[in-house]
Amino acid sequence: MTDSLHALPEGSLSPDLLDDRMLLERALRTGGRIAMEAFCKSPVNWDKGGDNPVSEVDIAVDTVLRDHLLHARPGYGWLSEESVAHLSERARPRVWVVDPIDGTRAFLDGRPEFTISVALVEAGRPVLAQVFNPATGEFFEAAAGTGFRMNGAACRVASVADPMAARLLVSRRELQEKRWGPGLDGSAVIALGSIAYKLALVAAGRFDAAVSLRPKNDWDIAAADLMIAEAGGRMTDALGRDLVYARPDSTEHPSLIAANPALHAALMIRLGSDPAGTVAMAGVEPLD
């Protein structure tokens, strides 16, 4: 497994963010070891309601991350899928936004399509982000203004601009439901677990776009949002609105589209989100 400590250009990071980055990686790798000790071993699990599974491993990893991160940074806020935080924590200058196991269903099914996903959010936007798939050894990270890396190697989003030539990642449920109607007909649509993993793979250029027309929460997408941006892509909801995190009123976002800017614009038109083509007519060009 590649150790990505010191992989980002440290000179462009403030000393506090550099310390936060190293702290976060140690926490994620510790969480990854806990997850792999239980992977494919039928851990205790239950349904939180609405066909939303959780396991004892989600809780264990959440506890470890919280102990590591908040012990070292007691002044930071905390927003996690698996541990309740008081609303006042979201108002702190910096907030850890955490999904201890993103893709719990894949984890329980023994599919290596789950991740540990953490973002550090400041003024509603992620400034530091790491996503770790311990089953594959893929470690994705970004810090604002420093680019995006997978296992230490700099990556960019793919340059495909035509939806008909693109490979799009969706969830298995959405592939069954096909909520997008005919909007993605002709595109190669591929199901994969963990929305954070899907988005990280798009940032790495291994797939062209990720689409979801189902609601997502801050902890699902905040880390990968920064990765898409730092890899030269664009990620919004399906109406083209930028995403804001750690809001006082809600953690939910109605949908998302992530791709390079040209493909993002084309997908909005195909999905009917921008029927007049105003985004495409704004002069968006494919990436080199």
pLDDT mean values, one per 10 residues, the chain (288 residues): 49 86 98 98 94 96 97 96 81 96 98 98 98 98 97 98 97 90 92 97 98 96 98 97 95 97 97 59 33
In order of their start, the domains of the chain are 10-154 (3.30.540.10), 163-282 (3.40.190.80)
Which DSSP symbol is given to 10? G
pLDDT of the residue at 2: 41
pLDDT of the residue at 91: 86
The alpha carbon dihedral of 26, 30, 36, 39 has a sign of negative
pLDDT of the residue at 144: 96
Asked if 132 contacts 115 with a C-beta cutoff of 8 angstroms, the reply is yes
Render 98-147 in DSSP notation, one character per residue. EEEEETHHHHHHT-S--EEEEEEEETTEEEEEEEEETTTTEEEEEETTS-
Q: Which two tokens stand for residue 18?
A: 């550099």
pLDDT of the residue at 279: 44
pLDDT of the residue at 80: 96
pLDDT of the residue at 152: 96
pTM: 0.91
pLDDT of the residue at 10: 52
pLDDT of the residue at 88: 77
